[in-house]
């Protein structure tokens, strides 16, 4: 008898691969531009169709993203992403970054609003209200350019400097961002503070605030305190159908002390498949990519599945 839970056939979950941006920006290893392109294309070939490829930020603040324009140029010249229908997402923090992203040929843009003022100032040099204004400007510019736009709400569950980020604060930020009219909002646990009860509460809150607006909901979890996959499960069971993850579990926020490790793509896909959800991702090929990225970075990665193996064995 199958142990796979019976879920509706329509219950697919989209994986947004973030290793090339959120993964690499805080990793001690160094990848060349060609290796970054290879990392992205390897993910595309496993079946992933939304990939956070680069960020258009000040290279003095995030040196590992200094070659963003070169990475995008190489991807466009290669043509694999376009041929397979994969979409390149560019992170932008202001209008200048947005203009660079458009010139580079991204398919989507993602702006960031940090939910706590102190983390916002340390991360982007502005408080939350100012970041909301920037996000609104980016959303308007994206609509004019015909580009899908998402807004990630960083520190949706907790701040490394202020502590708890309460539901009232998150509701205010959500309401302001919904008013800007993005296509998607992502709740991000930037420091790995959340537990499943928090996730269920905040997903319900976000759904209430979004209401009838045509805005999708995405979730981004870090595994800093080993709750990432539990939180992803809670999000999916609460109705979220788009989740961020990073090959091998690499990365973290360089401006959040101790916030190491996104949830690993291979671990997440294995979990979802065992739960009966379809991701469209080739799990064996993804595990093979973990071996490649470990060698490229020159150190082991925190993901578990590539070491333990897929179950049941194939």
| Residues noted as catalytic | 253
The label of the residue with tokens 């080993």 reads: 226
227 token code pair: 């709750």
């Amino acid at each position: 008898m199958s142990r796979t839970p019976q879920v509706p056939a329509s219950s697919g979950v989209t994986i947004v691969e973030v290793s090339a941006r959120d993964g690499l920006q805080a990793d001690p290893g160094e990848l060349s531009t060609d290796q970054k392109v290879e990392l992205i294309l390897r993910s595309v070939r496993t079946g992933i169709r939304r990939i956070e490829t680069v960020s258009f930020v000040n290279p003095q603040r995030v040196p590992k993203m200094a070659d963003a324009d070169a990475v995008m140029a190489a991807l466009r010249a290669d043509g694999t992403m376009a041929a397979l229908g994969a979409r390149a997402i560019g992170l932008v923090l202001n209008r200048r970054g947005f203009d660079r992203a458009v010139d580079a040929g991204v398919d989507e843009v993602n702006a960031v609003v940090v939910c706590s003022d102190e983390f916002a100032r340390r991360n982007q040099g502005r408080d939350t209200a100012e970041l909301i204004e920037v996000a609104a400007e980016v959303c308007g510019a994206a609509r004019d350019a015909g580009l899908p736009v998402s807004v990630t709400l960083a520190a949706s569950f907790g701040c490394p400097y202020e502590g708890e980020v309460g539901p009232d604060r998150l509701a205010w930020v959500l309401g302001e961002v919904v008013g800007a009219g993005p296509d998607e909002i992502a709740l991000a646990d930037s420091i790995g503070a959340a537990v499943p009860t928090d996730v269920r509460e905040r997903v319900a809150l976000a759904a209430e605030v979004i209401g009838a607006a045509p805005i999708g909901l995405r979730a981004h979890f870090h595994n800093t305190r080993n709750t990432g996959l539990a939180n992803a499960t809670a999000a999916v069971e609460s109705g979220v159908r788009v989740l961020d993850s990073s090959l091998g579990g690499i990365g973290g926020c360089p401006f959040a002390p101790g916030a190491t490790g996104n949830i690993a793509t291979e671990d997440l896909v294995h979990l979802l498949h065992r739960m009966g959800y379809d991701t469209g991702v080739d799990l064996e090929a993804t595990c093979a990519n973990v071996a490649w990225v470990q060698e490229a970075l020159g150190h082991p990665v925190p993901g578990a599945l590539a070491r333990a193996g897929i179950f049941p064995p194939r």
